[in-house]
């Protein structure tokens, strides 16, 4: 009797989520298939998407490279944190999470102050006689911005998996004659695959859709898909094309994360939430 009543508590939530997450996606699809002026059904927005394929390609390239760099840098850090005492783990976990809670706009602006031609790094290089380098407005600066902003999203799920790995498995592998490298490749790494997948996804999704990092750190002709959508929607007053691009972006993300899950044999059930 009690149980039936409790079930009812989920109803307002389900209604809310349907109205404010599912239906809006339907509205996006509706705008993607209608004409901005007449409001009639049209394929023209969808047909125009073809011209944006290079932009999509570039965005995917940037974000995949960033996600791989994050994995390379984040794995050792997550591993290190997972092997500390519980108190130190808590402290380091908090230190990884803290930057995520601070304004990412201002933190990205700080990189402008660091990287620009008369910025902190170049002034230092100049003072010690190396001379100024071109740091800002390069593809490298955009990748740096993405890695910097999204690295915590890689470290946290990796840590969550690594800390759960039974240390007896590692000991067993070592007892059976594995070198540390073999132990890592044959035991630790396979067991941490779900963490790798969820970390890669959590870096890839925001990176592929960002529109601030590329505007501040990239060269003026670097246009990522997020920049195009933002311009269409907020400045170009072409909400319908913006909707079509958003739809494509959503499908792209869905397919990419799907492929990632398939490749690693994880069904996405055990995605770690931070």
Contacts (CB under 8 A) with other proteins, residues 32-71:
none
Is the sign of the CA dihedral 7, 13, 15, 21 positive or negative?
negative
Beta partners for residue 71, in sequence order: none
With CB under 8 A as the contact rule, the residue among 127, 128, 176, 273 that binds other proteins is: 273
Q: Considering only residues 1-20, where is the footprint of other proteins by CB under 8 A?
A: 2-3, 6-14, 16-18, 20
- Shortest distance, CB of residue 104 to other proteins, whole angstroms? 7
Q: Which is nearer to other proteins, 120 or 172 (CB)?
A: 120
The answer to whether the beta carbons of residues 67 and 196 sit under 8 Å apart is no
Q: Considering only residues 171-200, where is the footprint of other proteins by CB under 8 A?
A: 180
> Counting contacts by CB under 8 A, is residue 208 touching other proteins?
yes
With CB under 8 A as the contact rule, the residue among 49, 61, 71, 250 that binds other proteins is: 250
With CB under 8 A as the contact rule, the residue among 60, 246, 256, 260 that binds other proteins is: 246
> Counting contacts by CB under 8 A, is residue 139 touching other proteins?
no
Q: How far is residue 257's CA from residue 265's CA, in Å, rounded to a whole number?
A: 12
Q: Which is nearer to other proteins, 25 or 185 (CB)?
A: 25
What is the total residue count of the chain?
274
The answer to whether the beta carbons of residues 45 and 30 sit under 8 Å apart is no
> Counting contacts by CB under 8 A, is residue 123 touching other proteins?
yes
Comparing C-alpha atoms, which of 243, 241, 258, 263 is closest to residue 204?
258
Q: Which is nearer to other proteins, 67 or 208 (CB)?
A: 208
Q: How far is residue 209's CA from residue 206's CA, in Å, rounded to a whole number?
A: 5
The answer to whether the beta carbons of residues 58 and 207 sit under 8 Å apart is no
With CB under 8 A as the contact rule, the residue among 57, 99, 190, 236 that binds other proteins is: 99
Structure tokens at 72: 């390379």
| Residue 257 φ/ψ, nearest 5 degrees | -70, -35
Q: Which is nearer to other proteins, 152 or 218 (CB)?
A: 152
Q: How far is residue 207's CA from residue 69's CA, in Å, rounded to a whole number?
A: 12
With CB under 8 A as the contact rule, the residue among 143, 229, 256, 260 that binds other proteins is: 229
> Counting contacts by CB under 8 A, is residue 107 touching other proteins?
yes
């Amino acid at each position: 009797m009690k149980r039936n009543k409790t079930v009812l508590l989920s109803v307002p939530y389900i209604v809310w989520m349907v109205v404010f997450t599912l239906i809006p996606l339907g509205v996006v699809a509706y705008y993607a298939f209608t004409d901005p002026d007449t409001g009639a059904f049209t394929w023209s927005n969808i047909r125009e998407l073809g011209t944006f394929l290079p932009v999509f390609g570039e965005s995917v390239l940037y974000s995949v490279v960033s996600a791989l760099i994050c994995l390379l840098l984040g794995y050792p850090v997550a591993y290190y944190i997972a092997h500390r005492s519980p108190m130190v783990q808590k402290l380091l976990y908090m230190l990884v999470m803290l930057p995520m809670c601070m304004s990412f706009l201002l933190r990205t602006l700080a990189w402008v102050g660091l990287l620009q031609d008369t910025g902190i790094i170049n002034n230092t290089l100049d003072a010690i006689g190396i001379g100024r380098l071109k740091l800002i407005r390069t593809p490298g600066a955009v990748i740096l911005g993405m890695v910097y902003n999204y690295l915590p999203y890689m470290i946290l799920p990796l840590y969550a998996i690594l800390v759960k790995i039974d240390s007896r498995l590692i000991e067993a592998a070592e007892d059976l004659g594995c070198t540390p490298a073999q132990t890592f490749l044959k035991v630790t790494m396979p067991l941490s695959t779900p963490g790798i997948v969820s970390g890669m996804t959590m870096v890839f999704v925001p990176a592929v859709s960002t529109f601030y990092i590329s505007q501040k750190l990239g060269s003026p002709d670097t246009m990522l898909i997020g920049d195009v959508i933002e311009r269409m929607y907020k400045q170009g007053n072409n909400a319908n094309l913006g909707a079509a691009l958003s739809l494509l972006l959503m499908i792209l993300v869905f397919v990419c994360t799907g492929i990632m899950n398939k490749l690693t044999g994880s069904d996405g059930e055990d995605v770690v939430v931070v």
